[in-house]
Structure 1
Amino acid sequence: MALATTGGGLGGSLGGGERVLAGLTAAYVLFTTFWPLAELFSAALAPGEDGTVLGVMRETLASRATGRALWGSLATSGLSVLISAGLGIALAFAVSLFRLRSRAILTFLILMPLIVPSQTMALAWIELFGAGSPLLAPLGLAPAAGTTNPLYSAGGIALVMGVEHMPLVFIATRAALRTLPADLIEAARILGIPPHRIGAGIILPVILPSAVAGGLLAFTAAIGNFGVPALLGIPGRVSVLTTLIYQRLNGFGPAAAGQVAVLAMLMTAIAAGALILRGLVLARLAVPLPAGRPFEPTRRAPLVETVLWLVVLAISIAPLVALVMTALLPAIGVPFGLERVSLDPFSRVLANDAVRRAFANSLFLAVGCALVSVIVAVPFAYLTRHHRTLLVRAIDVAVEAPWVVPGTVVALGMILAFLPPLPLVGISLYGTMAILMVAYLARFLPLVLRPVTAAAAAIDPALDEAGRIVGAGLLRRLGVLFLPGVLPAAVAGAILVVMTAVNELTLSALLWSSGHETIGVMVFALQYEGSSTAAAAVAVLSAAMVFAICALATLLARWLPQGMLPWRD
């Protein structure tokens, strides 16, 4: 019985059932990931109209619009990283190095800009800094009536993206601070080393690689961000690559496929460069630490806790409060007052067929994507644990691509692959719910696969071997021996998919069609049309749904793998 578990090709390394399982998984990844990305590269590398080699790429890269959008993306993303790094590192130090009474709630509030959908946070900041700001106007701090919102600028885009991606730096830095050996810190204190030298000589070398890696991850997220540049940049005439792709496809349709494919490849190259640099930073700058008990904060700091509350109120609470207050006003421009508070905006949006359909579509896509991802991830994790052949390793790398590259790139690949009728069946998926589902499945599979794979690594392979010896078939071993060990991780991954997908905008903005709207698309469309109170009402409802999912995840925390919920210690 040939049961090679490492190396080699498919033939001779897998049994009949495992070979079928690997083949089905390969076909799934080929359909959802490889084919769309291959179509994207093909369109970008196409010759020009006169037959010039790489003509489409040359023309697009030479365009002034491309140069302007490239510079806009680099400038806003670079500035946003400075904001993310400054805030994220400072907050991680405060939360990790001091004993705080309200650490759990503060951590959740710090992570809130990442949990709340991008377009919702952007809309919340717009309402906070607008001329009719329900919070700033009564204090005389809002812009004068009739003036442009100051966030409709490159600086405004950088500010909102910086706050939104700050949790990526915070999480990375806090994880590094948790590895600080307490014995090393205490020995330095006993020797009388001043605190500033402990910080520079011990703490900084430990957290620097993680902080830089978190900053590069924030840069990658900013390059691919669509919600913030769309809501702030389009009104402010600030062009970035994601909005240029959106505008080209909206204006020229499939005729612009080659040009936008080049723009998508440009975004992918920038994101890939940042991720490669992140890997090098973690590999080259990582500091080996002696084993020992981790550092636990013992010093209480009431002043630090007070400052922390002021910061999170400013970056997490105030924008959402302004959004809720706007959603309670009967019309745009009406000053906020208790006598004017009305639930009419919520009633109107809930009575709107398109809004109700958007919520139903988003829930269907998010839950459906989560369920299918679990069905795919569990058997594939079994293969990665017991049969890491060359094919399985290749699939394992391929499934990461749609999550690593910007969402706009994934959406464009879907258009190019599924706009023509499918071979054999002659049906086009473009303009249907199916293309949205395929895009979601490609994009969010890693959110389930990675925790399930990590859980599978802890399962003793001898358990599967014992099942083989007693004659248990593949399906029985999967269901009885393997599934119970990875089920909590699969549930956690499914929750993450629902939280992320239910308010997704980047994919949906390019792939939605009439009757197939999503929540993110409705928020963007209502705000773009000037219906600010309706957009605010939909955004508040979507944020409430996300918080409800977070509450459910917290209730299930005892059954989920440790570390799956970043707001829990």
Structure 2
Amino acid sequence: MDNQLRWLSIGLFILITALSVVPSLRLLMEALSQVTLSTSSPLAEVLRSERTWIALKNSFYTSGLGTLIAVLLGCGFAFVTTLTNIRGRAIWVFCFMLPMMIPPQVTALSWLQLFGPASPILNTLGMAPALGSPQPMYSAEGIALLLGIQSAPLVYLALRTQLIALPQDLMEAAQLANASPFRVWIDIIVPLCRSAIVAGAALAFVSSLGNFGIPAMLGIPAGYIVLPTLIYQKMAGFGNDMLSQVAGLSMMIALLVLAGMLLQQWLQQRSRYALLGHTAQSISFRLERWRLPLEVLLALILCFILVAPLLALVVSSLVPALGMSLTADTITLSAFYEMISRQGVTSRAFENSLLLAFSCALVLMLVSLPLGYLLMRLPMRTRAVIASLIEVPYAIPGIVLAIAFILLFAKPLPFIEVSLYGTLGIIFLAYLSCFLSVCLKPVLSAMSQLDPALEEAAQLAGARPIKRLIDIILPLTAPAFFAGGLLVFLISINELTVSALLWSAGNETLGVLIFNLDESGDSVLASAIAVLVVILVAGLMALLSLVAPRLPKGVIPWHD
């Protein structure tokens, strides 16, 4: 083995062990620490509990249905905005990405206010249902709907990375053979993108399975439990065996997701197609008379998944209290004034979240490229095992991952006697562990489509591994490389479940701040902060759009 590859492999092996294996082993040790032959052991109690199996069934139902919704939305928008001559493409994609940026608990709150009897919008329009009417969002289908809407951009990004790599030559050859656009889509585009669709669906399922904010807001009031909320409830109950039971539940999720990821790797391998580099022009369909109807359909979908709940969020931040109509007499900016002038914790939370999100995205981008390069050189089974190990920290609920890091770093670090507990450092390390798979998936998907002959030719010319990685692999996978970093930034800036147990006074994040305000009953102030979060992220997206022409094609998902 080349010395460069050897040292690179050793460094990445240590990194994966520290970020993925050690936290997982710590959880496993805690889960098995009190396993005995007794039927009263913590693990036996977890497996014997009827609530465990109810939560497991509910988790599969909501996550599966949410993944189906995410795949339909994400694939539909990816195909239309990437492969057709639809007008205003950047605006469509920009709006489609926004739901993923809104914190899950705020998303749930906005939809509750949109449809419930206390909806400010419906009260203003005189359309609010009578008090005591059932809330339609308090249901499994309501949970799945919001999980699907929040996960759809993940599917979109994973698929779009592959779509922009499809050369126009394929379509021209099919047209010469008198193939219709439908046959081109079925026989060429879908097979070539199958691995990206599988990757996006797997990412959406794992994200839905570990989502805490939406099931907590919509499920707990209705008595509908899923695994993350069951773990949260057990943690709230304390008890001597609480950590062991929670760790046992989390390892159950990890094993299930591990099996799913192995299946995904197998399916991706079977659907792999190699492309020899990129061409100057990607596949494009002309919609002709179907363009306007399709644009109207996209507008209606975006009004439903974005405009209506976002409008409810804005209205909620402008009224004195939820349940009031928005009129000239009731409209007020008191929540924004309170947030800016009296809440010093708000600016601190913004600074902490931006620092954590940017640092985490940058580090993981630098790691994912060489890591993906090394993984693609391994046998399929070995690669599947390592990829599954990397997936585990993201698959398990964030609250449980936080417990693992608390157990790991509760004591000062050996030799240097420095404690990370209660600092931003422990949150940063937990983010690296949690989001490594998020950044790696698009890179692996892109690398799986590259023809090995490209690198082999460079190797015959005397190029060493690092040179090949920088001059060949990086340019061809640049869209996936930057898309992975962008995914990490967008997810981590509003993250809640990991930081919920790791934050301390002075180290609050935006997700924690919004959740705490909502839990304390100050939903109006929470909505005001959430509105600023959306404005902040939308502003960052606009800034990226300005520099997009200087970046490789596909780096900015909402820009051609």
Q: Same fold (TM over 0.5)?
A: yes
Q: Deviations over 1:331-373 (max 9, x none)?
A: 2222012443221111112322333332233233334434655
Letter in 1 for 2:210: G
Unaligned runs of 5+ in 1: 6-12, 468-473
Could you say which residue in structure 2 is the equivalent of 1:226? Answer: 212
Kept after mapping to 2: 8 A contact 1:492/1:560: no
- 1:182 and 2:171 correspond: yes
Aligned residue for 1:558, secondary structure, equals helix
- 1:369 and 2:363 correspond: no
Kept after mapping to 2: 8 A contact 1:96/1:297: no
Quote how far apart the aligned CAs of 1:203 are. 5.9
Could you say which residue in structure 2 is the equivalent of 1:542? Answer: 533
Aligned residue for 1:509, secondary structure, equals coil
Letter in 2 for 1:506: T
Task: Specify whether residues 360 and 255 from structure 1 end up closer, same or farther in structure 2 by C-alpha distance, changes over 3 A only.
Answer: farther
Task: Specify whether residues 31 and 123 from structure 1 end up closer, same or farther in structure 2 by C-alpha distance, changes over 3 A only.
Answer: same
Letter in 2 for 1:295: I
Q: Choose the corresponding residue for 2:23, options 24, 28, 36.
A: 36
Quote how far apart the aligned CAs of 1:548 are. 2.0
Quote how far apart the aligned CAs of 1:223 are. 0.7
Matches within 5 A, 1:484-503: 496-503=487-494
Kept after mapping to 2: 8 A contact 1:420/1:428: yes
- 1:512 and 2:503 correspond: yes
Kept after mapping to 2: 8 A contact 1:46/1:53: no
Task: Specify whether residues 564 and 265 from structure 1 end up closer, same or farther in structure 2 by C-alpha distance, changes over 3 A only.
Answer: farther
Q: Deviations over 1:519-540 (max 9, x none)?
A: 1112122222222211101111
Alignment TM-score, normalising by the size of structure 2: 0.80
Task: Specify whether residues 346 and 412 from structure 1 end up closer, same or farther in structure 2 by C-alpha distance, changes over 3 A only.
Answer: same
Quote how far apart the aligned CAs of 1:439 are. 0.8
Quote how far apart the aligned CAs of 1:416 are. 2.6
Which protein shows a greater Rg? 1
Matches within 5 A, 1:68-147: 68-96=54-82, 98-147=84-133
Aligned residue for 1:340, secondary structure, equals coil
Kept after mapping to 2: 8 A contact 1:209/1:282: yes
Q: What is the CA–CA distance in structure 1 between the aligned matches of 2:373 and 2:68, rounded to whole Å? A: 42
Could you say which residue in structure 1 is the equivalent of 2:285? Answer: 297
Quote how far apart the aligned CAs of 1:125 are. 1.9
Q: Deviations over 1:312-340 (max 9, x none)?
A: 12112221121011111122222012443
Aligned residue for 2:499, secondary structure, equals helix
Identical counterparts, % of pairs: 37
Q: What is the CA–CA distance in structure 1 between the aligned matches of 2:81 and 2:443, rounded to whole Å? A: 29
Task: Specify whether residues 441 and 461 from structure 1 end up closer, same or farther in structure 2 by C-alpha distance, changes over 3 A only.
Answer: farther
Task: Specify whether residues 134 and 331 from structure 1 end up closer, same or farther in structure 2 by C-alpha distance, changes over 3 A only.
Answer: closer
- 1:523 and 2:509 correspond: no
Q: Deviations over 1:62-119 (max 9, x none)?
A: 2122112112211111221232233334444443564211122112222222233333
Task: Specify whether residues 501 and 210 from structure 1 end up closer, same or farther in structure 2 by C-alpha distance, changes over 3 A only.
Answer: closer
Task: Specify whether residues 565 and 446 from structure 1 end up closer, same or farther in structure 2 by C-alpha distance, changes over 3 A only.
Answer: farther
Could you say which residue in structure 2 is the equivalent of 1:551? Answer: 542
Q: What is the CA–CA distance in structure 2 between the aligned matches of 1:196 and 1:29, rounded to whole Å? A: 44
Unaligned runs of 5+ in 2: none
Q: What is the CA–CA distance in structure 2 between the aligned matches of 1:449 and 1:87, rounded to whole Å? A: 23
Q: What is the CA–CA distance in structure 2 between the aligned matches of 1:174 and 1:343, rounded to whole Å? A: 40
Q: What is the CA–CA distance in structure 2 between the aligned matches of 1:399 and 1:562, rounded to whole Å? A: 28
Task: Specify whether residues 32 and 132 from structure 1 end up closer, same or farther in structure 2 by C-alpha distance, changes over 3 A only.
Answer: same
Aligned residue for 1:526, secondary structure, equals helix
Q: What is the CA–CA distance in structure 2 between the aligned matches of 1:491 and 1:182, rounded to whole Å? A: 27
Aligned length: 541
Kept after mapping to 1: 8 A contact 2:411/2:419: yes
Kept after mapping to 2: 8 A contact 1:491/1:560: no
Aligned residue for 1:417, secondary structure, equals helix
- 1:308 and 2:295 correspond: no
Q: What is the CA–CA distance in structure 1 between the aligned matches of 2:359 and 2:240, rounded to whole Å? A: 28
- 1:354 and 2:354 correspond: no
- 1:336 and 2:323 correspond: no
Aligned residue for 1:101, secondary structure, equals coil
Letter in 1 for 2:306: S
Could you say which residue in structure 2 is the equivalent of 1:163? Answer: 149
Matches within 5 A, 1:102-501: 102-172=88-158, 179=166, 181-183=170-172, 185-187=174-176, 190=178, 210-252=196-238, 255-285=241-271, 294-300=282-288, 301-350=291-340, 351-370=342-361, 373=364, 401-403=392-394, 406-424=397-415, 429-445=420-436, 496-501=487-492
**In terms of mean alpha carbon deviation, does 75-84 or 350-359 score higher?**
350-359
Task: Specify whether residues 256 and 540 from structure 1 end up closer, same or farther in structure 2 by C-alpha distance, changes over 3 A only.
Answer: same
Letter in 2 for 1:183: E
Kept after mapping to 2: 8 A contact 1:272/1:405: no
Q: Choose the corresponding residue for 1:563, options 545, 550, 554.
A: 554
Task: Specify whether residues 87 and 481 from structure 1 end up closer, same or farther in structure 2 by C-alpha distance, changes over 3 A only.
Answer: closer
Could you say which residue in structure 2 is the equivalent of 1:471? Answer: none
Alignment TM-score, normalising by the size of structure 1: 0.79
Aligned residue for 1:150, secondary structure, equals coil
